[in-house]
Structure 1
Amino acid sequence: MKLRTGLQATFLALAGAAVLAGLVSVALVLQQQEQAQRQILALSQRSMHALASQRLLLRGEAVSAQVADALVNPLYYFDLESVGAAIGNVLRQPDVSYVIVYDADGNIVHDGSRDLERFGQRMDDPFALEVVAATAQHMQSDGKLLDVSMPIRIGDQRLGGVRIGYSLATAKQDEDAMVAAMQARLDEIARRHLIAVGLLLVVLVGLGALVAALLQRRLVRPVRQLAGAAQQIESGNYDVVVPADDRGDEIGDLVRAFDRMRDSIARHDRDIRRMAYTDSLTGLANRLALRESLDQRLLAMQGAAGRVALLFADVDDFKRVNDTLGHDAGDEALIQFTARIDAAVREFDVADALLARFGGDEFVVLLQLPDGDGADLRKVAGQLATRLVEEVARPIEVEGRRVFLGISIGITLFPDDATSAAMLLKNGDIAMYQAKLAGKNGHRFYSLAMDQAVERRMHMEHELRGAWERGELSLAYQPVMRMEDRTLVGVEALLRWQHPEFGSVAPPVFIDVAEQSGLIDVIGPQVLHAACVDTQAWQQRFPAAADLFVAVNVSPRQLRGAAFASEVEAALRESGLSPRHLHLELTETAVIGDEARIGQLLNALRTLGVKIWLDDFGTGFSGLSHLRRVPVDGVKIDRSFVADVLRDPDDLALTTAIISMAHSIGITVVAEGVEKEGQFEVLRDRGCDLGQGFWLGVPMTAREFDALLG
């Protein structure tokens, strides 16, 4: 039996003989020298750290005070451009990580960025609480950053403040450099000391040379070959040749295992790349693949002519498929849409066109025309968008049902609209959103005006925050009359916004902003409480209003909130209003997709005594079906039907049918938008229970309604 000498045993035997002789001679000398070096370095490092910290603190005090003085007038006049210019000079200084200008409430006014990405946001970092509370210059540090804040005042009024964050990394680098220099000096001294010790090690040189030669041949050379192969594999070259080795020791085993590992890594890399860059449902390129491809194309075109068009597409109302047919049906619909979109893109035969699924029901088409191509990229992109709209508009069969959907497309061009991938994607998303606002199922090219519209929307959202507390938001009340005898029986609470800059803002505009931003979660309970308080006051003060009810509109977001039921109960309890005098109005879209949970919520409110009305009835795609699944006490016929009852037989027939159907199942019918006497008479003759509109009574303030009741 052939004995195998292990590499580890051979190495340990040779190294042990060499090391043992050297350690006996130098152990005591090295130990004493190392201890002295550590003590000297520790003392020096503490001194240098104290000096560097003191210098940075003095610099922070001076710069923050100077910047605070420079920002008094710009912040007072809210001159963001001047604020940005002032803090831009500071941001360019070394060691400065950030400069933040904030108002007296701790909201960010300027963060030095070009797009003011954090404008209006509350400072929420660990330093923020002390910064806002500080009345004088204040410094904080967490070991990595030094935060220096300085209040900005004009007279006794505090306008806000400025924060400058200094990175301690550079100071640490200077400190390390000085320590390294001292270390080098100590090493030089140590080297002189080691000359004497070196005489003792001469006898080991011969043994060391023999050991080194043996290790080089038996260990170092094959390991270096493996290291070179590993570097090639790390760079993505999986075809590198691993040197064959038939040795019977551990090195031979390592070389053979490395060769098998290379094959396994190559196989897994192919699988991972396929999964990382491909959408699993549609087989298209995914978001990551699109972004990398876009970055590479833009980089390749730097300094060279070339054009890129990006079509950002979103399937309209796709959530409706998932909510009504289920997510499996939604996946099937997406696969069919993908096939149609892909076929349309291929029809245009644009070289290197890329179709990617950006996420959910969003798709992106990337078109590139090289320099010298005579085609008009804008025209090609518009024609492709038109073709995509036509293709997606055709109905598809999903689980035996025909589904009709549309697609909204935003188009942006490089280099006309943007020069970076992030900006192109942002612009495409903005243009797509504008296509949806324009009625969906169409396309829009990006323009600077769209960006400005987004900025205006953000400004409106900022102004809407706190508008109720500032007294800008108020309630108007429109009378609801009994059609039989034109008796006042109730009011509908309508939210109004009178802004000092915008003037009177249309309710659909600011309510949409409130819902999109989530502010409706704050404003909604305030409106509900105020309406209940006013109605209770009218009932107590005026005999004619003893049984008056108030109708309050509820947004889909409010209805889906976990705290909605408790908010209704709190408004009734705090105002003293009887639940039967509160009517909640909701639209069909607020119910779609979650009928079971919302049905339970509405049943609980009805058990409490609150009345539920279905608003804008007849306009939803589900028609009258929700009356069977959602408990309601009444329906409000949409004003679009009421407007044409005198001249359109179809609208008259539909209105009559709604009234008959509602009465047959015992629910109340309210007609909104009664603007003419003829409309009133037709609706009254057909048995409509209640009505509201300018002919019956215009919206009025609470004080004006007092006069009406008095």
Structure 2
Amino acid sequence: MTLTADYEQLFERAPCSYLVTDESWIVTAVNGTFLEWTGYTCDDVVGVPLPRLMSADDRLVHASRDVPRMQLTGAVSEVSVEIVDAHGQRRAALLTAVRSVQEDGSTEFRVIIFSAHERHQYELDLVAARRSAEESEARSIRAEAGLQYLALHDSLTSLPNRPGLAAILERELADRQPDVTIALLFVDLDHFKSVNDSLGHNAGDELLTIVAQRLSSSVRGTGTVARLAGDEFIVVEHVRSATDATVLAERLLEMVNRSMVIEGLEVVCSASIGIALADDETADPERLLRWADIAMYRAKARGRNTWEVHDPSEADPAVNRMRLLGELRHGIEDGQLRVHYQPRMNIATNIAIGVEALVRWEHPTRGLLQPGDFIDLAEESGLIRGLGAWVLDEAVQQGAQWNRASSGQAPVGMAVNLSPRQLVDPQLTGIVQAALARHSFDPSLLILEITETALMENPEMALKVLTALKALGVGLAIDDFGTGYASLTYLKHFPIDELKIDRSFVSGLGAGNGDYAIVSSCIQLAHAVGIRAVAEGVETDYQRSTLLTMGCDLAQGFHYSRPLAPDLLADWITARPPMSPEIAVELIAPEPDDDIEALAVV
């Protein structure tokens, strides 16, 4: 095609973009308006197929459908397209195409007119905005789903947390079948705090993760395992009877009891499990959790590493504990506490060389309560500080009174057991020193006992406290030895004078369960580091004679005497040989039997 000068000038200066193509849609001419609009040069466009200038979508659609239709009809046709400019930007345009031939009727050519298409650009922007909004909404949905997952799951174990468990229980209770019972098992790890404090929080987290995996592998596809808090896990399962629930509990205990290696050490864990059953329509998530919690604490009271099924007809112990707490508070204020004393004996000579002071509560309606009925409650509530201070002062005062009355005889000493709370009290040393000064009591007659578990919670701080106490001139002892994680290294570094073997091992002497070897090892360990070995809870002559052959230094227990009031103890001592000045009176931590030793905490 040739253009006259006038038409060429009109073509070049036209307000619209013009392209001329041949019958194959190859661009043969282009005006300046198009070049200015798109940023191309003439060489960029001439010789290029028209569809190549369009966006990919238009290239497929218009080149295959609309443009051929123009060719067939020969009519003017308008199509909304997008042109890709020299910078890669998509520009909305209205394509108007006219098919024509030369004057001699030979070569066919087309005139393509592009004009900016504001409506199409608006539609394009609208689509882009809609697409952006949809993508943003999708991101928001994903983010919301992620937040919801985090809100309903535990970050450490990925198990459902308390809110997640509540939702699961609501659904399970609503959808349960007539022949199926929902069982909820409350799994609480035994002594987890000791492991966590001894090995570190990272090791504790690893232990929790392993337990979570083991519990999850122990339930069927219908079951759910959740982490309620800390070392508390919940297992929800469909069962047909209480027996099925107890079988599951046994399986869970077996899985938890399997040894695991953490921080290079072999650790054996145990758990106490409480079972609650949704036997009727009145059961709801909160009630089931409460029932299972009550049963779990009963399992702990039975000695741990066992399970208990809750009986809904039984009274709620939490209510009883709250009532007892109020009564204990008034009991301390009203002077209802008493201290009884139990002799300690030299095994070899069978002579009383000291006594042990045991706290009792003279309850106005329930009679004389043993420490096991209220000491734990006092510790949990914080009342133990006032109660312990009173026991310490009472024991030191009683010792001073006995020493003044027994002129010419060996003086009586006092030993007080310190709780973990005591060890972190910066005023402890001053409190002990004040009690000694107040009653003019010789510091060498006071022995302070610290449980092995309390020492291992923070050995570095314990060493500082024990060193400061030792500087006062008092004696120190490790109580309940064998139940914690103390090693020979700690025994060598702590300024200890006495090691007390826990009564649970002494009571097993003669039972053939390995306690003989444990007790013998403890005695040898004590002597190896140059301190005395004391056996607690001696109740039979066989235990006494066995301890004698082992070389144990001291013993105490019902075999010699039950705890006695101060006046009765004086009569008991008078009827026996004189006391030795070597060992002092002791205040002992609570034990799980009828005459649990009292914890005296300042």
Same fold (TM over 0.5): yes
Q: Hey, what does 2:299 align to over in structure 1?
A: 435
Amino acid across the alignment from 1:526? W
Relative to structure 1, is the Cα distance of residues 685 and 434 closer, same or farther in structure 2, using a 3 angstrom cutoff? Answer: closer
Paired residue secondary structure (1:466): helix
Q: Hey, what does 2:323 align to over in structure 1?
A: 459
Aligned-partner Cα distance in 2 for 1:534–1:245: 102
Q: Hey, what does 1:321 align to over in structure 2?
A: 195
Aligned-partner Cα distance in 2 for 1:513–1:308: 33
Q: Hey, what does 1:357 align to over in structure 2?
A: 227
Aligned-partner Cα distance in 2 for 1:564–1:417: 54
Q: Does 1:598 align with 2:462?
A: yes
Aligned counterpart in structure 1 of residue 476 of structure 2, from 592, 598, 612: 612
Q: Hey, what does 1:342 align to over in structure 2?
A: 216
Q: Does 1:409 align with 2:276?
A: no
Aligned-partner Cα distance in 1 for 2:313–2:155: 37
Aligned-partner Cα distance in 1 for 2:259–2:430: 43
Output aligned runs, 1:212-361, within 5 Å. Answer: 261-298=136-173, 307-346=181-220, 349-350=221-222, 353-361=223-231
Q: Hey, what does 1:366 align to over in structure 2?
A: 236
698-707 or 286-295, which moves further after superposition? Answer: 698-707
**Structure with larger RCO (C-alpha < 8 A, sep 6+):** 2
Q: Hey, what does 2:403 align to over in structure 1?
A: 539
* TM-superposed deviation, 1:661: 3.5
* TM-superposed deviation, 1:709: 6.6
Q: Hey, what does 2:563 align to over in structure 1?
A: 699
The question of whether the paired residues in 2 share the 8 Å contact of 1:544 and 1:709 is answered with no
Aligned-partner Cα distance in 2 for 1:652–1:659: 11
The question of whether the paired residues in 2 share the 8 Å contact of 1:476 and 1:495 is answered with yes
Aligned counterpart in structure 1 of residue 413 of structure 2, from 530, 533, 549: 549
Relative to structure 1, is the Cα distance of residues 417 and 468 closer, same or farther in structure 2, using a 3 angstrom cutoff? Answer: farther
491-500 or 563-572, which moves further after superposition? Answer: 563-572
Aligned-partner Cα distance in 2 for 1:566–1:252: 79
Aligned-partner Cα distance in 2 for 1:679–1:380: 42
Aligned-partner Cα distance in 2 for 1:425–1:676: 43
Q: Hey, what does 2:255 align to over in structure 1?
A: 391
Aligned-partner Cα distance in 2 for 1:652–1:435: 27
Q: Does 1:564 align with 2:428?
A: yes
Relative to structure 1, is the Cα distance of residues 648 and 442 closer, same or farther in structure 2, using a 3 angstrom cutoff? Answer: closer
Aligned-partner Cα distance in 2 for 1:437–1:292: 31
Output aligned runs, 1:473-492, within 5 Å. Answer: 473-482=337-346, 488-492=352-356
Aligned-partner Cα distance in 1 for 2:301–2:322: 16
Aligned-partner Cα distance in 2 for 1:438–1:246: 79
Paired residue secondary structure (2:457): coil
Relative to structure 1, is the Cα distance of residues 633 and 413 closer, same or farther in structure 2, using a 3 angstrom cutoff? Answer: same
Aligned-partner Cα distance in 2 for 1:391–1:653: 28
Aligned-partner Cα distance in 2 for 1:606–1:376: 61
Relative to structure 1, is the Cα distance of residues 417 and 487 closer, same or farther in structure 2, using a 3 angstrom cutoff? Answer: farther
Amino acid across the alignment from 1:342? S
Amino acid across the alignment from 2:235? V
Q: Hey, what does 2:58 align to over in structure 1?
A: none
Aligned-partner Cα distance in 2 for 1:378–1:486: 53
Aligned-partner Cα distance in 2 for 1:388–1:648: 28
Paired residue secondary structure (1:345): coil
* TM-superposed deviation, 1:377: 5.1
Number of residues paired by the alignment?
455
Amino acid across the alignment from 2:219? V
Aligned counterpart in structure 1 of residue 371 of structure 2, from 492, 507, 514: 507
Relative to structure 1, is the Cα distance of residues 291 and 698 closer, same or farther in structure 2, using a 3 angstrom cutoff? Answer: closer
Q: Hey, what does 1:444 align to over in structure 2?
A: 308
Aligned-partner Cα distance in 2 for 1:625–1:662: 12
Structure with higher helix content: 1
635-644 or 399-408, which moves further after superposition? Answer: 635-644
Relative to structure 1, is the Cα distance of residues 299 and 649 closer, same or farther in structure 2, using a 3 angstrom cutoff? Answer: closer
* TM-superposed deviation, 1:477: 1.8
Q: Hey, what does 2:6 align to over in structure 1?
A: none
Q: Unpaired runs of 5+ in structure 1?
A: 1-243, 369-374
The question of whether the paired residues in 2 share the 8 Å contact of 1:614 and 1:635 is answered with yes
Amino acid across the alignment from 1:318? F
Relative to structure 1, is the Cα distance of residues 625 and 445 closer, same or farther in structure 2, using a 3 angstrom cutoff? Answer: farther
Could you report, residue by residue, the CA deviation over 1:188-230 in whole angstroms, capped at 9, with x for unpaired residues? xxxxxxxxxxxxxxxxxxxxxxxxxxxxxxxxxxxxxxxxxxx
Aligned-partner Cα distance in 2 for 1:502–1:392: 39
The question of whether the paired residues in 1 share the 8 Å contact of 2:453 and 2:485 is answered with no
Aligned-partner Cα distance in 2 for 1:424–1:647: 40
Larger radius of gyration: 2
Amino acid across the alignment from 1:501? T
* TM-superposed deviation, 1:475: 0.6
* TM-superposed deviation, 1:567: 2.8
The question of whether the paired residues in 1 share the 8 Å contact of 2:216 and 2:224 is answered with no
Aligned counterpart in structure 2 of residue 521 of structure 1, from 373, 376, 385: 385
The question of whether the paired residues in 1 share the 8 Å contact of 2:291 and 2:312 is answered with no
| TM-score normalised over the length of structure 2 | 0.66
Q: Hey, what does 2:581 align to over in structure 1?
A: none
Aligned-partner Cα distance in 2 for 1:693–1:669: 15
Paired residue secondary structure (1:539): helix
Paired residue secondary structure (1:456): helix
Aligned-partner Cα distance in 2 for 1:483–1:379: 49
Output aligned runs, 1:680-691, within 5 Å. Answer: 688-691=552-555
The question of whether the paired residues in 1 share the 8 Å contact of 2:176 and 2:182 is answered with no
Paired residue secondary structure (1:591): helix
Amino acid across the alignment from 2:229? G
Paired residue secondary structure (2:464): helix
Paired residue secondary structure (1:468): helix
The question of whether the paired residues in 1 share the 8 Å contact of 2:347 and 2:544 is answered with yes
Aligned-partner Cα distance in 1 for 2:442–2:256: 51
Paired residue secondary structure (2:280): coil
Aligned-partner Cα distance in 2 for 1:387–1:526: 47
* TM-superposed deviation, 1:261: 4.4
Aligned-partner Cα distance in 1 for 2:541–2:183: 56
Amino acid across the alignment from 2:187? A
Paired residue secondary structure (2:219): helix
Aligned-partner Cα distance in 2 for 1:628–1:265: 61
* TM-superposed deviation, 1:528: 0.4
* TM-superposed deviation, 1:648: 7.1
* TM-superposed deviation, 1:535: 1.0
Q: Unpaired runs of 5+ in structure 2?
A: 1-118, 575-602
* TM-superposed deviation, 1:687: 5.2
